[in-house]
Amino acid sequence: MENNENEKKMNEEAAVAFDVEAKGKAEDDEDDDGEIRRINYPGIKAMPYIIGNETFEKLGAIGTLANLLIYLTTVFNFKRITATTILNVFNGTTNFATLIGAYLCDTYFGRYNTLGFASIASFLVRKFEDEFVYYDSAKCT
């Protein structure tokens, strides 16, 4: 009995030492057997990568929108206000569609089904895009 208590105490000390080394958030949680186990959340280590990824993604999106504005006004000869309206609608739709997609993915379809469907849909759109869509910039003048 005493050996069991010493073993539990050593395990708890090791868990605390592991949490200090990992520098993550830790919580206590009870097992089905009633034993307390340590849950470690070391997600803080990944935060710089996530923030960096989101920063560069936003920079790329802003650069693409600026280039698309120039393209719409020079090649398609849209008025600036019309091109800006198109870009605002496009930007708002793409930002809002991710929320709808995330909700549907988490609620109904699941991660892998959504990823598979999106990959196949993207492939099919790119494959048939040239066959069905034809732009002649001379007709847009």
Looking at the fold, whether 13 and 82 belong to one and the same domain comes out as: no
**Inter-residue contact 139 to 76 (CB < 8 Å):** no
The answer to whether residues 12 and 54 belong to one domain is no
One domain for residues 101 and 113:
yes
One domain, residues 89 and 128? yes
Q: What is the pLDDT of residue 23?
A: 47
Q: Indicate if 52 and 15 belong to the same structural domain.
A: no
Whether 65 and 126 map to the same domain: the answer is yes
- Does residue 58 share a domain with residue 39? no
Name residue 36's beta-bridge partners. Answer: 30
Residues in the chain: 141
Single out the residue of 59, 68, 71 nearest to residue 89, CA to CA.
68
| Whether residue 79 sits in one domain with residue 20 | no
Residue 17 scores a pLDDT above 70: no
State residue 49's pLDDT score: 86
Report the half-sphere exposure of 102 (CA within 13 A, side-chain side). Answer: 6
Q: How much of the chain, in percent, has pLDDT values that exceed 90?
A: 30
Residue 40 sits in which domain range? Answer: 2-45
**How far, in Å, CA of 15 to CA of 38, rounded?**
6
Number of folded domains that form the chain: 2
Residue 96 has pLDDT above 70, yes or no: yes
CA–CA separation, 79 and 86 (whole Å):
11
Q: How far apart are CA 98 and CA 57, in angstroms?
A: 14
Instruction: State the CB neighbour count (10 A cutoff) for residue 81.
Output: 8
